[in-house]
Structure 1
Amino acid sequence: MEAALECLLKPNRKTSPVDNPPYSNTKPIQRPNPLAEQQAKANGRMDAYVSKAPSDLATAKGEGTIMLEFLALQIQAMHDSTTNIEKDTRDIKFSIREIEAKLGTLTTRVDDMEDRVVALEESRDPSETELVTFGEELEKVRAQLDNLDNRGRRCNIKIMGLPESKEGKDMIKFLQHELPVMLYHTFGELEIQLAHPVGAPSRAQGERERPRPVIVNMLRYRDKEEILLVAREKGQIIWQGVKIMFFPDCWRETMDRRMSFNQVKAALRQRQVEYALRFPAIHEIKHNGFRHRFTSPGDAAEFIAKKIPKGLLLCSEAPSYRLQEAPSYRLQEPKSDP
């Protein structure tokens, strides 16, 4: 396009015969030139642009300065933010290292605790076995002590309701003389080794003095059994207007065990079955010519329900009772099973 413009603008260009026809008196024909028109339009636009370029250039330069300042601020802000992020990252890394160190310490402690727990569990098994063994041995020792204590009391009689100061100075002679009178029974020679009241007398004013129980230790076991047997057969015993009661002297736990058979004995009396309560707390039932012995009221009740059924039998291991309400029973000499 530039070459075409240069050709149009050259002043001394050669003309062709067509442009200068041989007819001298004839004016040349004016043909439209589109290239010239386009060039004129382009020149006009260029002049207009050049005329207003200085003002637009200043405006563009100001806008560019503003943009550069804005970009500089953005870059500075990004730099500050990056610096803060790096600082926070360093702090986080430091905190993580501290946490890792603490976790390492905790892990070591947990491992030590696990080792200790394992050691305790391993040492516990023998201890449990030893504890069971000690428990069994303790039960045996307690049973032996119970047996020794009861055997030491097996010749004792406990007399309840005997008025205070009636015995005078010699309790043994008093009982040797008064026991046959109390029971309306002729005994042989009653040999008493020891007799004394238990506990301190009641001296509370305004209340009737309650007599203390008297413990009588007989020399012979047969004499003790005879006295208790006669007392049970007599039932209520009144001596000088006072109610007197006779009981075997047993250890408290042994007495509880003896009293736990009360319901069993009541059921046997209803069935008219012969029974006996052996020392210290062995319940003996005679059935079909055999003697069956029980140390638990539950076992005795189960035996009665199966072997001697008659109505409903209710029996608990530890029924409520009072000492003076113990029912009468007949002690029998043990016999060998047929």
Structure 2
Amino acid sequence: MNQGKRETKKNAKTGKQEEMKASQKQLMLTDSMRSMRSMSSEPTGGESEMLAELRKLRQENSETFKDTKLSLNRLESSMTEIKQQIVQLDERITTAENSVSVTDDRSIRQERAVGYLLRREASLAATCDDMENRHRRNNIRMYGIREGAEKDAMMSFITTLLHTKLKVPGDTEIKLERAHRALAPKPKESSAPPRSIIVRFLDFSVKQIILQQAWKQRDIEFEGQRVYFDQDYSPDLQGKRKRVREVIKQLKEKNIKAQSPYPAQLKLFLAKGVRVFPTLVEAQSTLKELGVDAIIERELTQDKWSTQENRRRNQMQLNPTDVRAIIRGDNGMND
């Protein structure tokens, strides 16, 4: 029985000890909780610096965001202005393109008109030159007579010269309409070549007799100087005939017979037959085959000496639309 009491006391003592240990643990846990709460409520020095840096960074981010927003607003405004300028430039480019298109159309029409007018002018010039040469049919030119030999009596001087120097038929009545020196400045030096004398006959047949006889006699002299007789052609025709004569000279060096019929044609006497070319341009290929190097300029119109009816038929005509547009001065876009 005593043993049971001892065990009971022992157990009670043990229980008290365990309660004391439990209360101590509770106190320690409470102290630790308090220390943790104090630690969380009162930051340390390093944590304070970190918080200060975070607040500063937050403020800087806020200011940067404001600046970025202002920049975006300015950029949006600039983009709006650029868009407006692009729209204006697009309108100006469209207007410029339309203007260029109108100018191109007008330029094309003007080029056609200029081409037509150039050919028309060349055709009219050829017609005038033909009329001038027809008007000179009764004329001859005399070269080699010294200045002043006529002594202010040109008509009687030429008549006497023709009768004495040429062997013309006795029944040939020489009647002159006029005779004068070429309309060029009188040579100031005596050594200079004298001006030619232009003689116009009343009768074309008499003129032909005189000219043919002069060419037949060839050696006609006056005061020791040889006198030459030739047709009185216009300056333009003289230039054309001069070019043909240069070609004929080269042909004769190759023993090829050639002549220059009126007005400035080229007549070739070849082994395979006679060929006549109205212009040197048309004879260019044949001349190359013969080995003749001739400088030939292609003109706006080639004088074929065709009839007036053929000339009208072959004339280049402008489109009526072009004519109306040129007269109005616009580009004819509405036609």
TM range (shorter): 0.5 to 0.7
Match of residue 195, structure 1, among 179, 186, 195: 179
1:77 aligns with 2:56: no
The Cα of 1:171 is off from its aligned counterpart by: 0.5
The Cα of 1:230 is off from its aligned counterpart by: 4.0
The higher radius of gyration belongs to 1
Match of residue 294, structure 2, among 286, 302, 315: 315
Aligned partner of 1:194: which letter? R
| Structure 1 residues 202 and 170: alpha-carbon distance in aligned structure 2, compared to 1, 3 A threshold | same
1:275-286 mapped onto 2 (5 Å cutoff): 276-285=259-268
1:108 aligns with 2:91: yes
The Cα of 1:156 is off from its aligned counterpart by: 2.2
Match of residue 146, structure 1, among 129, 133, 138: 129
Deviates more, 1:238-247 or 1:250-259: 238-247
The DSSP-based 3-state class of the residue aligned with 1:96 is helix
**Two-structure CA RMSD over aligned residues (Å):** 4.3
Match of residue 153, structure 2, among 170, 173, 176: 170
1:274-313 mapped onto 2 (5 Å cutoff): 276-285=259-268, 292-300=275-283, 302-303=285-286, 312-313=291-292
Partner of 1:248: 231
Ranked by relative contact order (alpha carbons within 8 Å, sequence separation 6 or more), the top structure is: 2
The answer to whether the 8 Å contact 2:168/2:213 transfers is: no
Deviates more, 1:134-143 or 1:285-294: 285-294
1:98 aligns with 2:77: no
Pairs aligned (count): 278
Q: How many angstroms apart in 2 are the aligned matches of 1:254 and 1:305?
A: 24
The answer to whether the 8 Å contact 2:166/2:214 transfers is: no
For residues 223-259 of structure 1, what are the alpha-carbon distances to aligned partners after superposition, in whole Å with 9 as ceiling and x for unaligned? 4344444444455654213343333222222112112
The answer to whether the 8 Å contact 2:251/2:258 transfers is: yes
Structure with greater helix percent: 2
| Structure 1 residues 259 and 66: alpha-carbon distance in aligned structure 2, compared to 1, 3 A threshold | same
| Structure 1 residues 264 and 233: alpha-carbon distance in aligned structure 2, compared to 1, 3 A threshold | farther
The Cα of 1:316 is off from its aligned counterpart by: 3.5
| Structure 1 residues 167 and 61: alpha-carbon distance in aligned structure 2, compared to 1, 3 A threshold | same
1:167-246 mapped onto 2 (5 Å cutoff): 167-181=150-164, 183-186=165-168, 188-197=172-181, 198-203=183-188, 208-235=191-218, 237-246=220-229
Deviates more, 1:265-274 or 1:249-258: 265-274
| Structure 1 residues 250 and 66: alpha-carbon distance in aligned structure 2, compared to 1, 3 A threshold | same
The Cα of 1:192 is off from its aligned counterpart by: 1.9
The Cα of 1:142 is off from its aligned counterpart by: 1.9
Q: How many angstroms apart in 1 are the aligned matches of 2:291 and 2:249?
A: 12
- Normalized against structure 1, the TM-score is what? 0.64
Q: How many angstroms apart in 2 are the aligned matches of 1:64 and 1:301?
A: 109
The Cα of 1:129 is off from its aligned counterpart by: 5.0
The Cα of 1:102 is off from its aligned counterpart by: 1.6
- Normalized against structure 2, the TM-score is what? 0.64
Of all paired residues, the percent bearing the same amino acid is 19
Aligned partner of 1:202: which letter? P
The Cα of 1:84 is off from its aligned counterpart by: 2.1
The answer to whether the 8 Å contact 1:278/1:284 transfers is: yes
Partner of 1:33: none
Partner of 1:7: none
Unpaired stretches in structure 2, ≥5 consecutive residues: 12-20, 298-335
Aligned partner of 2:143: which letter? M
| Structure 1 residues 72 and 238: alpha-carbon distance in aligned structure 2, compared to 1, 3 A threshold | farther
Q: How many angstroms apart in 2 are the aligned matches of 1:112 and 1:261?
A: 56
Q: How many angstroms apart in 2 are the aligned matches of 1:18 and 1:185?
A: 196
The Cα of 1:173 is off from its aligned counterpart by: 0.9
Q: How many angstroms apart in 1 are the aligned matches of 2:9 and 2:69?
A: 83
Q: How many angstroms apart in 1 are the aligned matches of 2:41 and 2:291?
A: 124
The Cα of 1:174 is off from its aligned counterpart by: 0.4
The Cα of 1:85 is off from its aligned counterpart by: 2.0
The answer to whether the 8 Å contact 2:244/2:265 transfers is: no
For residues 135-158 of structure 1, what are the alpha-carbon distances to aligned partners after superposition, in whole Å with 9 as ceiling and x for unaligned? 443332222111112212232222
Q: How many angstroms apart in 2 are the aligned matches of 1:20 and 1:75?
A: 67
